[in-house]
């Protein structure tokens, strides 16, 4: 009788710990699955990627985009977008080099979506829709990395 009571007592006392461990295990999985791990791919959903840029890349739009880039993005992505801004070394993962083929091969819609959503250390841009399209028009003029 007393052995049964002891066993029940241990099980009851161990239950909260087991539950806590289970909850922790499940809570850590989504964080990794969200792509917070270095180099995890970040792909815009199809629908967002097909969205067309409504702002033609005129000289004025590109100039406006550059001003906005220097104000909102340069601190991380660097003056020429190579991912070497003053804050870059403190970020994990590092800010992307926006001149790379890997980035430039993405559609305007995909870049718009990423700038809108942000991920990890990459903030949601505090820009209007037309400002974001202007920044993208500017990104298209970045010289390829050497
Ligand atoms: C506080 C630093 C920071 C600022 C400010 C910032 N970014 Fe980023 N950006 C990052 C980091 C870090 C990543 C990599 C995120 C990842 O892969 O999880 C990134 C990724 C990106 C990507 C995705 C590249 C790819 O891999 O497909 C684009 C596009 C981008 N940034 C554009 C911009 C633009 C445009 C701005 C300004 C409106 C901006 N970022 C502002 C830090 C920043």
Rounded CA separation 140/100 (Å): 11
pLDDT given at position 14: 67
Q: 53-76: per-residue pLDDT in tens? A: 999 999 999 999 999 999 999 999
Burial class, 135, CB count within 10 angstroms (exposed 0-12 / middle 13-18 / buried 19+): buried
All structural domains of the chain with their residue ranges:
1-33, 46-139
- Name which residue sits closest to atom 25 of ligand 1, judged by CA: 103
- Give the mean pLDDT of 112-136: 97
The DSSP call for residue 95 is P
Percent of residues, the chain, with pLDDT higher than 90: 69
**CA 77 / ligand 1 centre spacing (Å):** 7
Q: 78-112: per-residue pLDDT in tens? A: 999 999 999 999 999 999 999 999 999 999 999 99
pLDDT band at residue 17 using 50, 70 and 90 as cut-offs: low
* Atom from ligand 1 closest to the CA of residue 139: 35
At the topology level, CATH places domain 46-139 in Cytochrome Bc1 Complex; Chain D, domain 2 (1.10.760)
pLDDT given at position 129: 98
> At a CB cut-off of 8 Å and minimum separation 6, what does 127 contact?
68, 72, 115, 135
Q: Are 85 and 75 in contact (CB under 8 A)?
A: yes
pLDDT for 36 beyond 70: no
- Name which residue sits closest to atom 5 of ligand 1, judged by CA: 73
- Name which residue sits closest to atom 30 of ligand 1, judged by CA: 115
């Amino acid at each position: 009788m007393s052995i049964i009571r002891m066993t029940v007592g241990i099980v009851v006392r161990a239950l909260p710990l087991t539950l806590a461990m289970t909850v922790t295990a499940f809570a850590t999985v989504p964080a990794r699955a969200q792509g917070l791990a270095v180099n995890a791919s970040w792909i815009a959903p199809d629908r967002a990627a097909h969205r067309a840029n409504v702002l033609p890349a005129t000289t004025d739009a590109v100039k406006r985009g550059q001003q906005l880039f220097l104000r909102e993005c340069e601190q991380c992505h660097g003056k020429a977008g190579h991912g070497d801004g003053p804050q870059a070394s403190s970020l994990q993962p590092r800010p992307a080099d926006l001149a790379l083929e890997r980035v430039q091969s993405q559609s305007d819609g995909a870049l718009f979506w990423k700038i809108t959503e942000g991920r990890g250390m990459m903030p949601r841009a505090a820009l209007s829709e037309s400002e974001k399209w202007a920044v993208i028009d500017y990104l298209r003029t970045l010289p390829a990395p050497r």
